[in-house]
């Protein structure tokens, strides 16, 4: 368990800046995901933490010790970290047990102790009976488990995972998410997990750092990230959302053909001039009759413009009366509305997350 | 971020520069250097090109090169089309015969053709006089026509391989598109299929031309007795005692420049965009039905391979096991004396046999180690400007062997590093000459290994050298075995650079074979050639088992 501190880390390749002023502190035993679309710099960041790449600027410290800085970077083999690769990187010329034993061998662990440790960790990942197999004889999920065992058995200070599930099929991917979290709960290794899949990040992480164009957009616990995205990018990348632009006029926030009193918003004090909000489709409710008005919610008439039945839920697009807006609304399967039907939209201002101006 | 291994990389890069750049630099330098004073002079160029004899040899080389390339096209293209696109029978036989041709060293082919088409005594002439009762046969290998035919016989496999790989990639849909518009099979082939393969054919044409102007073995065996000269034989004569290195260097410059330019042109032609059909595997391919014509095509293929393989192999085998080859095919003429003489009785040939394989093995190991290290350095960006190393490692590909040998001679006969007179100059010259083969194969082998396998070892605490030893090396073994064979085979038969660099005691079979050719003992020459062929065949079979059937005749040249 180690504390990992990245301070103003920059990485350029030629004229391209891949990682831009990246600062993040991981507490000992914390599980943090780097989440973002491909090319956002998350893998570059991970490879800098691992020591495969040197930062162009900035520093990385582990437990108060400087491990990366421009011109002086501790090589990967001296960092006492482990990494799980996208390709699993299981060595095809060694058996499962030999693969897992490699890190212990390098650390000169005595033979007997090594055998015990290897067997124990293989049991933990439910591969105890397959130690003598060669990687070619294993399924993708089993290879993934070997990779996990190999990485954990050395009790690394930090565990790094680079899109470890992207080569698995959907069912297995879901199973392995929980497996990874289970192992973290068992061993409490400080972990950095790189992924482009928000569900993976949500299941596994204590905190998620959303990255975009080399920068951190927002770092937060999964729930906070979903409920209160701070930028337009985060709002759009984590789940689906509606973006509402408004103008603060006196005590009101004026939207396209409806108005909400300013003091009903969570960030009432911060509202000024042009503002934009993110509102999740499942935070909007649809009614056939106007629901009773209350202090908390705001009711707006509208018309169903589009609908799709997706089995688990309905997906509606509703236009508020007279407005050019098209709001996406998620409704439960029994909430059936016809196309062009007049409906009432119930909006909860406190669930509308204020986004930073672009 | 300097690792411990950094010093090793620098040493290997230094070796690369010593093998490739230094000889070339010294060659260029020597061409402007006064033989005695060492001052700058243009006199070498004046001496090299001031004699009509030398200019004539240059013209001969160019004319013969063009003729060879044309003849190779006539030989190779129809065969490639037949094997790739038609329902001709006996494809396996034709393919095996082309492989056999490829395995035969060109100088052994020349010896075979001397036995077949030597004036008067040649087999073809004897058959002709026996049938027609004429005074003398019409065939004479000791002529420019004879030389062109011999060279073409042993270089047309390139044309075959280039064209065939191109044709293999053209989808039948291309042809179908023409057929649906009303074109017949012949028109489709001539207007669609062949034009699509044209860049490959042009590229092969250039390669054939360059091969033949750089060739030493066959021209020396045929042109010298026929009393005409080509560039390579002229260069060789400049090395008769006392060697005129500076003049030779100056004389070799145009050969080097032509080669570099044409290889560049070849690269451009092959790489040209717009020939979409060649960029990927096309759809399904169907064979053209030839009807009775397929027998005619097979006859043509067998005719060509008879000239290049079946007949020459037959006469070489006969001579190798004959008391006197002229006494023909009878049991009382059969003997093992020649082989025993070459392998055991005579010190010179015994030593040469040994040298051949020891040098080739040493050269292969050096070339592969160096190539692998350079490929690794480039792939992992371990030093700045690594890309440039690729070009250096590939440079010998465009240097004719004979030019490289003169460069080695110029670089390593004088201080500070005197290698001339030792086996090392031959070993290093071979290693350099075949470095590009080693490099392309090492690079491919290395690329087939996911770098994450190595990263995984590093992050678990293994340093770079330990990761290389424990992870990368075991994974490379298989791929490199094939590469070893691909370097070893040409190294055992290399003549054009060896002829300039050997001394007494460091002869190899190819050199000895050439040296003995003026004694006229064709039984012994054939035996020596046969040893090379047998070893090569054995290695090729090993290669087939380990790497797959296409490993030798694969087009890696670009």
What ipTM does the predicted assembly reach? 0.82
pTM exceeding 0.90: no
- DSSP letter at B189 equals I
- Judged by a CB distance cut-off of 8 A, whether residue A52 touches chain B is yes
pLDDT in tens, B72-126: 999 999 999 999 888 999 999 999 999 899 889 999 999 999 999 988 888 999 8
Task: Using CA coordinates, name the residue in chain A closest to B452.
Answer: A89
Burial of residue B520 (CB within 10 Å: 0-12, 13-18, 19+) is: exposed
Confidence of residue B65 (pLDDT cuts 50, 70, 90): very high
Question: pLDDT tens, A97-108?
Answer: 999 999 999 999
CB contact under 8 A, B459 and A92: no
The answer to whether the peptide bond before residue B242 is cis (omega within 30 degrees of 0) is yes
Residue A196 near residue A38 (C-beta atoms within 8 A)? yes
Cα separation of B408 and B402, whole Å? 10
Residue in B276, B267, B293, B47 with CA at minimum distance from that of residue B186: B293
Q: In this structure, what DSSP letter does residue A292 have?
A: P
CA distance A204 to A153: 20
**Strand-pair category, A31-35 with A207-212:** parallel
- Report yes or no: A347 and A259 within 8 Å, Cβ to Cβ: no
Taking domain A240-355, whether its CATH number is 2.60.40.3880 is answered by no
Reply yes or no on whether the pLDDT at B551 is more than 70. Answer: no
- Interface with B, mutate which of A48, A91, A146 (most B CBs under 10 A): A91
CA-nearest of A229, A217, A243 to A40 is: A217
CB-based contact, A80 to chain B, within 8 Å:
yes
Query: To the nearest whole percent, how much of chain A has pLDDT over 70?
Result: 100
- What does DSSP say about strands A4-13 and A57-62: parallel, antiparallel, or unpaired? antiparallel
The CA distance from B372 to the nearest CA of chain A, in Å, is 20
Q: What's residue B553's pLDDT?
A: 60
Does the pLDDT of residue B284 top 70, yes or no? no
Q: How confident is the model at residue B278 (pLDDT cuts 50, 70, 90)?
A: very low
Q: Is B473 on the interface with A (CB under 8 A)?
A: no
The predicted pLDDT at position B289 comes to 83
Contact B62, B51 (CB under 8 A): no
Residue B258 token pair: 């032509």
Would you say the C-alpha torsion A177, A102, B459, A64 has a positive or negative sign? positive
A161-212: pLDDT as tens digits: 999 988 888 888 888 899 999 999 999 999 999 999 999 999 999 999 999 9
**Test mutation, A13, A77, A158, A166, chain B, max B CBs within 10 A:** A77
Task: Give the minimum alpha-carbon distance from A60 to chain B in angstroms, rounded to a whole number.
Answer: 15
Nearest by CB to residue B450, choosing from A51, A54, A87, is A87
Q: Is the dihedral of CA A331, A337, A338, A340 positive or negative?
A: negative
Overall fold of domain B347-558: MetI-like fold (1.10.3720)
Identify whether the C-beta of residue A234 lies closer than 8 Å to the C-beta of residue A258: no
Tell me if chain A has a CB within 8 Å of the CB of B465. Answer: no
Residue pairs between chains A and B whose CB atoms are closer than 8 Å: 71
Per-residue model confidence as pLDDT tens digits over B203-215:
889 989 998 999 9
Q: Which tokens sit at B213?
A: 């102007």
Q: Say how far residue B62 (Cα) sits from the centre of its chain.
A: 19
> Is residue B397 pLDDT above 60, yes or no?
yes
User: How far is Cα B1 from Cα A74, in angstroms, rounded to an integer?
Assistant: 8
CATH number of A4-228: 3.40.50.300
Residues B370-376, mean pLDDT to the nearest whole number: 92
* Predicted confidence (pLDDT) at residue B184 exceeds the cutoff of 90: no
Whether residue B556 has pLDDT greater than 60: no
Nearest residue to B252 via CA among B30, B17, B493, B502: B30
Query: Which residue from B406, B390, B421 is spatially nearest to B26, judged by alpha carbons?
Result: B406
Residues of chain A with CATH 2.40.50.140: 240-355
Contacts of A163 in chain B (CB under 8 A): none
Sign of the CA dihedral with A67 first, then A70, A71, and A76 last: positive
**What does the DSSP assignment read for B128-172?**
HHHHH--SS-S--SSSHHHHHHHHHHHHHHHHHHHHHHHHHTS-H
A93 touches chain B (CB under 8 A): yes
A76 CB neighbours in chain B (<8 A) are: 455, 458-459
Give me Rg for the CA atoms of chain B.
25
Question: What pLDDT does residue B188 have?
Answer: 80
Q: Which residues contact B69 (CB under 8 A, 6 or more apart)?
A: B205, B206, B208, B209, B212
C-alpha to C-alpha distance for B351 and B151, rounded to whole angstroms: 29
Partners of A78 on chain B (C-beta within 8 Å) are 461
β-sheet bridge partners, residue A26: A4
pLDDT band at B557 (very low <50, low <70, confident <90, very high): very low
Q: Which of A86, A82, A91, A50 is nearest to A164 (CA)?
A: A86
Q: Report the distance separating Cα A28 and Cα A338, nearest Å.
A: 53
Q: Is A54 on the interface with B (CB under 8 A)?
A: yes
How large is the average pLDDT for residues A247-269? 87
pLDDT per position as a tens digit, A38-65: 989 999 999 999 999 999 999 999 999 9
CATH 3.40.50.300 in chain A is located at 4-228
Within an 8 Å CB–CB cutoff, is residue B476 touching chain A? no
**Could you say which of A72, A83, A92 has the minimum Cβ distance to residue B459?**
A83
Work out the average pLDDT over B139-165. Answer: 92
Rounded CA-CA distance A28/A3 in Å is 4
Q: Return the pLDDT at A319.
A: 93
Other beta carbons within 10 Å of B181 = 8
* Cβ-based neighbour number of residue B311 at 10 Å: 19
Q: Does the CB of B456 have a partner CB in chain A at under 8 Å?
A: yes
pLDDT at B521: 87
* Shortest Cα distance, chain A CAs vs residue B314, angstroms: 46
Task: Give the model's pLDDT for residue B101.
Answer: 92
Dihedral (CA of B85, B90, B91, B94) sign: negative
Which residues from A are below 8 Å from B464, CB to CB? 75, 77
Using CB atoms, pick whichever of B1, B456, B475 lies closest to residue A73. Answer: B1
Residue B192 to residue B189: CA distance in whole angstroms:
6
Can you list the alpha helix ranges (DSSP code H) found in A1-95?
A: 42-50
Residues from chain B that touch A102, judged by Cβ atoms under 8 A, are 457, 460, 462, 470
The answer to whether the CB atoms of B459 and A150 lie below 8 A apart is no
């Amino acid at each position: 368990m180690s504390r990992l501190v990245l301070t103003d880390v920059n990485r350029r390749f030629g004229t391209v800046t891949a990682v831009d002023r990246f600062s993040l502190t991981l507490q000992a035993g914390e599980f943090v995901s780097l989440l973002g679309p491909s090319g956002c710099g998350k893998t570059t960041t991970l490879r800098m933490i691992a020591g495969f790449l040197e930062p162009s600027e900035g520093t990385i410290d582990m437990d108060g010790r400087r491990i990366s800085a421009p011109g002086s970077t501790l090589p990967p083999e001296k960092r006492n970290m482990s990494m799980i690769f996208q390709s699993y990187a299981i060595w095809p010329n060694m058996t499962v047990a030999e693969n897992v034993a490699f890190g212990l061998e390098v650390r000169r662990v005595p033979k007997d102790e090594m055998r015990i440790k290897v067997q124990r960790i293989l049991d933990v990942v439910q591969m105890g009976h397959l130690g003598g197999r060669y990687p070619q004889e294993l399924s993708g999920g089993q290879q993934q488990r070997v990779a996990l065992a190999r990485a954990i058995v050395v009790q690394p200070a930090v565990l790094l995972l680079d899109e470890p599930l992207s080569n698995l099929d959907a069912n297995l991917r879901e199973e392995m998410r929980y497996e990874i979290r289970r192992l973290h709960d068992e061993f409490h290794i400080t972990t950095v997990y790189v992924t482009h899949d928000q569900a993976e990040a949500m299941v596994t992480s204590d905190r998620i750092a959303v990255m975009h164009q080399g920068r951190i957009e927002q770092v937060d616990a999964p729930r906070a990230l979903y409920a209160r995205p701070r930028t337009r990018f985060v709002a759009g990348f984590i789940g689906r959302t509606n973006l509402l632009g408004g103008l603060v006029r006196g005590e009101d926030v004026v939207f396209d053909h409806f108005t909400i009193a300013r003091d009903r918003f969570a960030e009432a004090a911060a509202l000024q001039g042009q503002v934009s909000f993110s509102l999740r489709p499942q935070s909007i409710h649809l009614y056939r009759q106007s629901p009773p008005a209350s202090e908390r919610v705001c009711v707006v008439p509208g018309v169903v413009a589009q609908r799709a039945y997706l089995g688990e839920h309905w997906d509606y697009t509703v236009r508020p009366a007279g407005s050019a807006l098209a709001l996406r609304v998620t409704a439960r399967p029994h909430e059936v509305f016809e196309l062009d039907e007049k409906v009432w939209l119930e909006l909860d201002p406190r669930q509308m997350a204020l986004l930073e101006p672009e | 971020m300097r690792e411990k291994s950094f010093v090793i990389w620098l040493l290997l890069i230094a070796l690369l520069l010593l093998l490739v750049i230094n000889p070339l630099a010294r060659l260029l330098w020597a061409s402007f250097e006064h033989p005695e004073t060492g001052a700058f002079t243009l006199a070498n160029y004046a001496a090299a090109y001031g004699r009509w004899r030398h200019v004539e040899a240059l013209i001969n080389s160019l004319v013969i090169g063009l003729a060879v390339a044309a003849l190779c096209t006539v030989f190779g293209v129809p065969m490639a089309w037949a094997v790739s696109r038609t329902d001709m029978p006996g494809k396996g036989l034709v393919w095996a015969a082309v492989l056999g041709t490829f395995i035969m060293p060109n100088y052994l082919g020349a010896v075979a053709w001397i036995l077949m088409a030597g004036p008067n005594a040649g087999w073809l002439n004897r058959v002709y006089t026996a049938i027609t009762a004429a005074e003398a046969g019409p065939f004479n290998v000791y002529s420019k026509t004879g030389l062109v035919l011999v060279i073409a016989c042993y270089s047309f496999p390139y044309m075959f391989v280039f064209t065939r790989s191109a044709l293999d990639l053209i989808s039948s849909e291309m042809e179908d598109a023409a057929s649906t518009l009303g074109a017949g099979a012949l028109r489709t082939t001539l207007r669609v299929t062949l034009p699509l393969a044209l860049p490959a054919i042009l590229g092969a044409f250039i390669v054939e031309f360059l091969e033949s102007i750089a060739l030493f073995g066959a021209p020396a065996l045929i042109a010298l007795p026929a009393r005409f000269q080509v560039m390579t034989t002229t260069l060789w004569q400049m090395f008769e005692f006392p060697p005129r290195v500076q003049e030779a260097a100056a004389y070799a410059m145009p050969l080097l420049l032509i080669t570099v330019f044409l290889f560049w042109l070849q690269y451009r032609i092959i790489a040209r965009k717009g020939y979409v059909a060649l960029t990927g595997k096309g759809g399904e391919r169907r064979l053209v039905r030839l009807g009775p014509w397929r027998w005619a095509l097979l006859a043509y293929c067998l005719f060509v391979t008879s000239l290049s393989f079946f007949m020459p192999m037959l006469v070489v085998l006969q001579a190798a096991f004959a008391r006197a080859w002229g006494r023909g095919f009878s049991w009382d003429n059969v003997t093992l004396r020649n082989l025993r003489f070459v392998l055991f009785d005579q010190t010179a040939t015994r030593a040469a046999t040994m040298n051949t394989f020891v040098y080739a093995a040493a050269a292969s190991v050096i070339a592969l180690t160096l190539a692998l290290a350079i490929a690794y350095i480039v792939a992992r960006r371990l030093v700045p400007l690594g890309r440039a190393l690729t070009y250096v490692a590939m440079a010998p590909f465009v240097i004719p062997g004979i030019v490289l040998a003169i460069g080695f001679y110029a670089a390593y006969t004088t201080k500070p590093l005197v290698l001339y007179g030792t086996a090392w100059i031959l070993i290093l010259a071979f290693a350099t000459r075949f470095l590009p083969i080693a490099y392309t194969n090492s690079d491919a082998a290395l690329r087939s290994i996911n770098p994450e396998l190595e990263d995984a070892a590093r992050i678990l605490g293994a340093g770079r050298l330990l990761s290389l030893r424990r992870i990368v090396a075991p994974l490379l073994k298989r791929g490199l075995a094939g590469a070893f064979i691909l370097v070893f085979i040409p190294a055992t038969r290399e003549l054009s650079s060896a002829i300039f660099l050997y001394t007494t005691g460091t002869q190899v079979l190819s050199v000895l074979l050439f040296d003995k050719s003026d004694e006229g003992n064709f039984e012994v020459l054939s035996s020596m050639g046969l040893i090379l062929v047998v070893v090569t065949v054995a290695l090729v079979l090993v290669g087939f088992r380990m790497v797959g059937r296409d490993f030798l005749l694969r087009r890696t040249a670009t």
